[in-house]
Structure 1
Amino acid sequence: MRTTGDRIRQAVSFEVIGLLISVPLAAFAFGYSLEKTGVLGLIGATLATLWNYIFNLGFDHALKRFTGSTHKSLKHRLIHAFCFESGLLIAFLPIIAWWMGIGLLEALLVDVSFALFYLVYAFVFTWCYDTIFPDTDAETPPGQ
């Protein structure tokens, strides 16, 4: 299992790198100001950082309980990324609508765009992070 410090490093680095990529991309794609999109990104990053820590802790505990290890196969990584982003999508939708002053349908488009970006980003980032900072408890269980 990862330490608390390692989980915090993972969550913060995930959000900082994600913001540096997603905020300018969203401002350009949707024609919003960089300032408005930047604040939305910071709100989302704060929400996502908390969710990241809680979700990853729960996911690792569940994975260890069911498989005996925190090793993530390709299937586990896909499930991880999809579930993480689905939970965040639900929580972030009303915040987007409120902050951007748009309707729920337009907010859903923005939210889904962020989620699709972060779905791919979460998969790539987590795989890279696990490679750079391996979890000593993540050895492949026998038979997998």
Structure 2
Amino acid sequence: MRGTTRKSQTGYPMRNTADRIRHAISFELIGLALVTPLGAWVFDTPMQDIGIVSLLSAIAATLWNYIYNLGFDRVLMRVRGDVRKTVPLRIAHAVLFEAGLLLVLLPLFAWYLGITLLQAFLMDMSFAGFYLVYAFVFNWAYDVIFPIPVNAG
């Protein structure tokens, strides 16, 4: 049935495409609003430079967010038969997400800001640290605000 959620073996459904898109976009918009002024202040870099890097990062992260979360949920369904996340799973989810994104963003930071790969790595690790905490808090809050209905589908 189109537009419905897929149920796990325990009766808890997976999120549908519209919900995943809302999740990814809201995550990035709120993250951008927080990280751009904070990054400009911490790194003493013009707001427009941090803004451009942050925007390009957000676009890459939005695409990665959708793909990663869909894959993560499918793995959970296959391994556990359920997409609900325990605290250790939430921590693994956030760490793995940021590690994958770090590999993509490192060259972008170095090139656009005209800094060394080491400087870009340190800057990117700072952003990753921020987003690691932010992703954990955001995803938990999202699951509370937009819970997956037990009887959906």
In 2, Cα distance between the equivalents of 1:36 and 1:64?
A: 41
Structure 2: tracts of 5 or more residues without a match: 1-13
In structure 2, the partner of 1:41 is 54
Identity among equivalent pairs (%): 54
TM-score w.r.t. structure 1 length?
Answer: 0.93
Which protein shows a greater Rg? 2
1:26: which partner in 2?
39
- Deviation string 1:11-51 (CA, Å, 9 cap, x unpaired) is 00000000000010000000000001001110000000000
Residue 102 of structure 1 and its aligned partner are, at CA, apart by 0.5
Match for residue 146 of structure 2 among 123, 130, 133: 133
Letter in 1 for 2:25: V
Q: 1:136 to 1:61 in 2, by over 3 A?
A: farther
Count residues with an aligned counterpart. Answer: 137
The code of the aligned residue for 1:78 comes to I
**Which residue number in structure 1 is paired with residue 114 of structure 2?**
101
Aligned partner of 2:25 in structure 1 is: 12
Matched letter for residue 87 of structure 1: G
Which SS does the other structure have where 1:47 is aligned?
Answer: helix
Structure 1: runs of 5 or more not aligned: 138-144
Distance across 2 between alignment mates of 1:75 and 1:66? 15
Query: What TM-score does the superposition give when structure 2 sets the normalisation length?
Result: 0.88
Q: CA RMSD in A?
A: 0.7
Q: Which has the higher helix share?
A: 1
C-alpha deviation, 1:61, in angstroms: 0.6
